[in-house]
Amino acid sequence: MQIQTSHLLMLFLFFAPYTTARADAYQDTIRIFKNAGESGNFFAKSYAYAVFPTVGKGGIVVGGAHGNGLVYVSGTAVGKTSMTQVTLGFQLGGQAYSMIVFLEDQRAFNDFTSGNFEFGAQANAVAITAGVSAAATTGGSSAGASGGKNDATTVGEYYKGMATFTVAKGGLMYEASIGGAKFGYEPF
């Protein structure tokens, strides 16, 4: 048990620097997603969106991910959000990625900002690869990805009022797991 605890502690310490973001990191992340094909179209047709400049993820059989972000309505930040994910299954490694969650309408915004929103294992995330060796990973059954973070194209759609896109930033993770993500929200 002590060895497992030390492994998890090492993973946490490795990813701790990735869980905070400076103010311009939000604008940089938004710019990447605006220039990434279809994800750029979601800005005009979404009621709101949550931006996570960096999410740190790691696992050895049991895995986890965490990131902090901001929620925007009409381009204005209205609150802070956090994402925590737990997964179980074959997985080894660690990675960092950026994520955006588009909220289709007022109902989806209210669900997300209830402070206790969860994505189940069936939810999809479209991964925009940042290099030739990067692979698309999802929490669900399908994803589309191509290009790099500066010239990527994406395909995606809303699922229960939400659409999620990710861009790999670094690291390597082998994974065949199942899990869910929980989001917290605190208005300004």
pLDDT for the residue 22: 61
Percent of the chain beyond pLDDT 70?
68
The SS3 assignment for 53 reads strand
pLDDT tens profile 140-152: 322 333 334 444 4
Average pLDDT estimate for 32-59:
91
Band of pLDDT at residue 125, cut at 50, 70 and 90: low
Task: Please tell me the pTM assigned to this model.
Answer: 0.73
Take residue 113 and report the two structure tokens written for it: 């900002």
pLDDT for the residue 134: 31
98 residue type, one letter: S
Band of pLDDT at residue 91, cut at 50, 70 and 90: confident
What distances in angstroms separate CA 177 from CA 91, 150, 170, one per listed residue? 7, 29, 20
pLDDT for the residue 65: 92
The answer on pLDDT for 20 being more than 50 is no
- Residue tagged 């925590």 (tokens): 84
Phi/psi at 93 (nearest 5 deg)?
125, -165
Band of pLDDT at residue 27, cut at 50, 70 and 90: very high
Q: Could you tell me how far CA 60 lies from the centroid of its own chain?
A: 20
pLDDT for the residue 70: 97
pLDDT for the residue 152: 41
Take residue 163 and report the two structure tokens written for it: 């659409």
- Per the CB < 8 A criterion, the answer to whether 36 and 152 are in contact is yes
pLDDT for the residue 43: 94
- Residue tagged 């497992």 (tokens): 4
The answer on pLDDT for 174 being more than 60 is yes
